[in-house]
Amino acid sequence: MATEDKLVTIHVMGEAFRVPEGSTIMTALEYAGFQLTTGVGCREGFCGACGTLYREAGDYKIKGGLACQTVVTDGMHLAQIPFVPAAKPVYDIEALSPDEEAIKRIYPEVFRCVACSTCTKICPQDIQVMDYVQCLMRGDIAQAANISFDCLRCGLCGLRCPAEIVQYNAATLARRLYGRYLARPSERLERRVEAIARGDYDAQLDELQGLDADALKKRYYDREIKTK
């Protein structure tokens, strides 16, 4: 157990807690006794489920981050944002074209952008959000899809946007349009889809589904990771 001189004070929804120095926000919350049933996902990577707003002692700025990655600091005030309300329009991708007209039709609010860059500053992935919004406005779907490729849909950009744009939903449309109309066909992908349809991997999937939790963890951590 952590000793007193290695603990820091954080404030969760205004209530003070002593937690281990160097903890991520997520582990600090659990140390403080919170049972996380929302606002928690992959824990070891980036899934975007644990968006958090916080202020640090002596700093007037309100910042955003992912609870699984952001380290607590003494005097931090924080609140988790497990979900940012945003309506998602229903559309038929086959009825759209990969240009600014599709954006105007489905996400007209994109054109309210005032180029303040608040969305870029809050992004925990350091994505140039304002840049892809500008691409959407001029119909450069391919570039918008490319810039937004690593988006986790945590919602922090939309939460801070003064024009109330839902940037991440518009970026998803851009990537769908790019994949449907602009991306070059992938022979390897087509072969893999055909193999799945033939049932080539059914036996392997059945084996994995039959493993208990410990065996599944061992298989996961012992796997060979290809870096190239």
Residue ranges of domains in the chain, CATH in brackets: 4-80 (3.10.20.30), 93-182 (1.10.1060.10), 187-221 (no CATH)
The H-or-E segment that residue 167 falls in is helix 167-177
pLDDT band at 1 (very low <50, low <70, confident <90, very high): very low
Q: Is 109 left (phi over 0), alpha (psi -120 to 50) or beta?
A: alpha
Q: In the chain, pLDDT over 90 holds for what percent of residues?
A: 80
Report pLDDT digits (tens) over 181-195.
999 988 999 999 999
Query: Among candidates 112, 142, 140, 117, which has minimal Cα distance to 127?
Result: 117
Distance CA 64, CA 157 (A): 9
- Number of Cβ atoms within 10 Å of the Cβ of 39: 19
Nearest to residue 136, comparing CAs of 93, 168, 161?
Answer: 168
Q: pLDDT category, 38, cuts 50, 70, 90?
A: confident
User: Tell me, what's the pLDDT at 227?
Assistant: 64
pLDDT at position 64 over 60: yes
Residue that is written with structure tokens 């899934």 in the block: 47
| Residue range 162-184: mean pLDDT, rounded | 96
Residue ranges of the alpha helices (H) in 59-140? 100-106, 118-122, 129-137
Instruction: For residues 78-86, give the mean pLDDT.
Output: 89
The C-alpha atoms of residue 96 and residue 177 are separated, in whole angstroms, by: 8
90-115 pLDDT, tens digit each: 999 999 999 999 999 999 999 999 99
CA gap 87, 170 in Å, rounded = 11
What was the pLDDT predicted at 165? 96
The predicted structure's pLDDT at residue 5: 62
- Residue 44: pLDDT over 70: no
Predicted structure pTM score: 0.79
15-37 pLDDT tens trace: 999 999 999 999 999 999 988 88
Question: Rounded to the nearest 5°, which phi and psi values hold at 114?
Answer: -105, 10
Q: Cα dist. 88→40, 147, 167, 170 in Å?
A: 22, 21, 11, 9
Residue 228 has pLDDT above 60, yes or no: no
β-bridge mates for residue 8, sequence order: 19
